[in-house]
Chains A and B, each alone.
Chain A
Amino acid sequence: MTPFTSLTAPVAFLDRANVDTDQIIPKQFLKRVERTGFGEFLFFDWRFNADGTLNVDFELNTPDMAGAGILVAGKNFGSGSSREHAPWALMDYGFRVIIAPSFADIFYNNCFKNGLLPIVLDDPSIELLRSAASGERYVLTVDLQTQSITDGKGIEIAFLVDAFRRHCLLNGLDDIGLTLEHADDISAYESMRPSRMPSLAGQR
């Protein structure tokens, strides 16, 4: 996994609650068998009009949000389908940090597996960022080492993140490798598992 230490990048604001993964990456783009190349389809049904032209009314399509690396979103971001294509699309588009008042469970988890940092901030802090940006191009620095968000103009917000997840993200650790360090424990568990448990052995 790509490590994440800190990022200084422009911010995009998407002021909508309950943005589901069907919106983040619509199902017609789930047919690829690779992890890459999903960025151009991010928020597809919102970004583009029915005739394929750019929807200029959509938040992310305004010029000052171009090149954004940090997305500030509404509550319950990433609800619905478990598709990991959602974090893949967000990262491929250029985002490395998502800030929201709350996230859906599976999405939140999927972010960490890909080096995308989801940050939970309370509503007042998000409001503070929104008003500081006041519709202009706005740059933030997100530092995972110090767990802080700063704008270089006086705003400094601390955020919380699970210590183990932070450690994995800072070091770009591979979860599977970590678990396999305990292969002996897995084998020991398996030797105790009752043989009556369902198995597909002998089906093929």
Chain B
Amino acid sequence: MPKLTLSVNGQPRTIDCANATLLVEAIREHLGLTGTHVGCDSSQCGACTVHVDGRSVKSCTMLAVEAEGAAITTIEGLATGNDLHPMQAAFKEHHGLQCGFCTPGMVMSACDLAARNPAPSEGEVRHWLEGNLCRCTGYHNIVKAVRAGAGDMNGGK
């Protein structure tokens, strides 16, 4: 099987996997990082969102072999020890989650937005999160959390 070298959460990793392996399968099954979720497996829900070279992508809609040489960040890569990443802390503080299934994807997506736009408006957050579905919260607290988290990431706290 082809060998694939990439960086995952700052660590160099090598994976043996078939060409048809999806990035999300490599992350969950080969690397055991199960924080990245599979909600729909049909490119709609965004639960599988990770960063590839800093950009949010649906890892169920990218091949692992396409990530050769890339830097992947998953939800596990955000916190520093016991200290939550500001976006994770904002989700906790603003009740941006209920069952938590969509949360890893929401947080990864939100971090990509915050890196481009330090102070997104409510409308900008909602437009950006079109690709992340939540069956529980009704989105209001997610939007609040993302706006607060973006502010904190960009020096507000």
Are A and B bound to each other?
Answer: no
A contact residues vs B (CB 8 Å cutoff)? none
B contact residues vs A (CB 8 Å cutoff)? none
